[in-house]
Structure 1
Amino acid sequence: MHAIDLFSGAGGFSTGAAMAGVPVVWAANHWPLAVQYHAANHPHAAHICQDLQQANWQLVPAHDLMLASPCCQGHSKARGKANGNPQHDASRSTAWAVVSAAEVHRPAAFVVENVPEFLEWSLYPAWAAALATLGYSLAPHVLDAADHGVAQNRVRLFLVGTRSKAPLRLSLPAQDALHAETFVDFGAGSWSAIDRPGRSINTLARIASGRTRHGDRFLAPYYGSGSGETGRSLRRPIGTITTRDRWAVVDGKRMRMLTRHECRAAMGFPADYQLPETHKQAVHMLGNAVCPPVAAKVIKELMERI
């Protein structure tokens, strides 16, 4: 079995494939830095830096499994906009690369990862119909990473396509959740005093609320809804890791943002997985990534069923 990885980004899908025993032979992304680090972590794969909507699929090696994570921002409730916004319409259109690649190679199966709102895309029926014309049946699986070996609540769609008459529903039983305390290192990072000049009144209020609920050590997101009002216990999974710093660690009278290494662990990447030295770049890559343990579980079950 061999796989290719479209929109490979930080390499979460490729890492999950490796965990499942499926080598990735080709990977592509439009961001040079992402391609650089994917190649560093997956040196045995061929790499290309290109807009995949203009790829020559005949140059791609033969494969049994296609993995793809088209741009999700145009679908996400957090960042997506209505049809007619050129930026987000262009974002959504990246999914058509999956169809053009499948038309040329007809792999035995593919897995597309995205936000669940992908299924609500106005062109999803047409997109699914195009794949059906190529002989694929689609089975959507909406999974929370916290149920599948990752210390993070991250709900994502894994759309499994197989060349079969009926959609293939995978058996993916949930497991006990890991907690954020498994990766938060109180001896790491750059700490600052909570009660310092210039600290936002709203931030101080949220931290006070979190301390009331969780004691001196907890997580505090920089958002004014959900856990942003109450903080989050370290004895539960962290909330979704995003492309920008979101989660602060509170320890008594001091606080700091998560380090890139903690974000890497929260996503389920191996501890030796190479990341950019620049914190902002590393967090951006990780926030867009697929959680490797979840990908591994999906791919392993899929390979056993086809």
Structure 2
Amino acid sequence: MESLRFIDLFAGVGGTRLAFESQSFDCVFSSEWDLHARATYQANFDDLPHGDITEIPAKHIPPFEVLVAGFPCQPFSTIGKQQGFKHETQGTLFYEIARILSETTPRAFLLENVKGLLTNNNGSTWNTIQEVLSELGYFVKHAVLDSSDFGVPQRRRRLYVVGFRDPQDLESFSFPVPTGDLADFAPHVEWGALGYSISKHLQSTYVFKLSDGRPEIVDQGWTGPIKTLVSSYYKIQRLTGTFVRDGETGLRLLSRSECLAAMGFPSDFILPQSRGRIYRQLGNSVAVPVVAAIAGQMSIALRR
């Protein structure tokens, strides 16, 4: 089988690498600026990512066929201020992707971001991105996919953008079709887990301060996926969080193993960081099975 090499930019803890390697792609380069995420990445892949991509010349990157990047989504998220390209640092990182595409001209790329990127600044941000990619010589398709449609027990809608230099490769590519079966989170609950409890005081003064059905609470009768796991989950946000009716106080945060399951990571994935950093790292990552399904379709198109 033809070897397909990829580079893993804004690599985080390596969710995208897991996905692409499961589809017989070979990672030849990775970059991640966060020191704690780099440590987690190294613990799992025995490979320390290079640092800040803005400081890495394209000529220092080995030859490759596919660029993969889940560039920072905070400037485009509905949770944030939606600053888009106006963000002083993160909003401009797309242009680092464009720089590398321009100087290395790989056969294809996959970009991942929040769906809010499509509507940021009345759509002008997305229009700019499409124009830049077209000017670089790429033919592009995009889709918003929900991880819960691909066997992941979490509702996580993300924008995926695929580009090919050869229009015939694009014609051969199609986004994966949802399985149609929503995965239940309850089978993944670590019942009796200790050490993740939410205090009784916080429950009475904040979590249950209103009778509005918030937050989402998983119990023995729960069916279906949970809400999106976000990087700020450790802050116990009652509107966006999912908690478990379990633990020392009767209510707790998701455990390490539950977060891994919610993101589609293998249960033996190493998370050497503190609990807060675990939530941040996984909340910033990708739903592995979704990216793997897209990588599989890209493999078919590129190996046709």
TM range (shorter): 0.7 to 0.9
| Structure 1 counterpart of 2:237 | none
Matched letter for residue 30 of structure 2: A
SS of 2:167's equivalent in the other structure is coil
Does the 8 Å CA contact 2:192/2:246 hold for their aligned counterparts? no
Q: Deviations over 1:244-273 (max 9, x none)?
A: 223310149711111122111110101111
SS of 1:8's equivalent in the other structure is coil
> Which residue among 217, 223, 232 is the counterpart of 1:244?
232
Does the 8 Å CA contact 1:83/1:89 hold for their aligned counterparts? no
Establish whether residue 293 from structure 1 lines up as the match of residue 289 from structure 2: yes
SS of 1:156's equivalent in the other structure is strand
| Structure 2 counterpart of 1:273 | 269
Taking structure 1 as the reference length, the TM-score comes to: 0.84
Aligned residue runs from structure 1 range 101-250, under 5 A: 101-121=100-120, 122-165=124-167, 167-168=170-171, 170-175=174-179, 176-190=181-195, 196-197=200-201, 199-204=203-208, 221=215, 227=216, 234-245=222-233, 246-250=241-245
Distance 1:128 1:62 in 2: 25
Aligned residues: 285
Does the 8 Å CA contact 2:75/2:91 hold for their aligned counterparts? yes
Aligned in 2, Cα 1:238/1:197: closer, same or farther, shift over 3 Å? closer
Q: CA deviation at 1:89?
A: 4.3
Matched letter for residue 282 of structure 1: I
Q: CA deviation at 1:198?
A: 5.3
Establish whether residue 99 from structure 1 lines up as the match of residue 98 from structure 2: yes
SS of 1:125's equivalent in the other structure is helix
Matched letter for residue 109 of structure 2: F
Q: CA deviation at 1:182?
A: 2.2
Does the 8 Å CA contact 2:5/2:27 hold for their aligned counterparts? yes
| Structure 1 counterpart of 2:62 | 61
Q: CA deviation at 1:142?
A: 0.6
**More deviation, 22-31/243-252:** 243-252
SS of 2:299's equivalent in the other structure is helix
Distance 1:34 1:297 in 2: 24
Does the 8 Å CA contact 1:99/1:127 hold for their aligned counterparts? no
Aligned in 2, Cα 1:36/1:277: closer, same or farther, shift over 3 Å? closer
Aligned in 2, Cα 1:209/1:273: closer, same or farther, shift over 3 Å? same
Does the 8 Å CA contact 2:152/2:289 hold for their aligned counterparts? yes
Distance 1:232 1:18 in 2: 36
Distance 1:292 1:170 in 2: 18
Aligned in 2, Cα 1:261/1:3: closer, same or farther, shift over 3 Å? same
Aligned in 2, Cα 1:242/1:135: closer, same or farther, shift over 3 Å? same
Q: CA deviation at 1:134?
A: 2.1
Q: CA deviation at 1:70?
A: 0.8
Matched letter for residue 77 of structure 2: S
| Structure 1 counterpart of 2:257 | 261
| Structure 1 counterpart of 2:27 | 24
Q: CA deviation at 1:77?
A: 0.9
Matched letter for residue 161 of structure 1: G
Q: CA deviation at 1:84?
A: 8.6
Taking every aligned residue pair, what percent have the same amino acid on both sides? 27
Does the 8 Å CA contact 1:232/1:238 hold for their aligned counterparts? no
Aligned in 2, Cα 1:83/1:106: closer, same or farther, shift over 3 Å? closer
Matched letter for residue 45 of structure 2: H
Aligned in 2, Cα 1:193/1:303: closer, same or farther, shift over 3 Å? closer
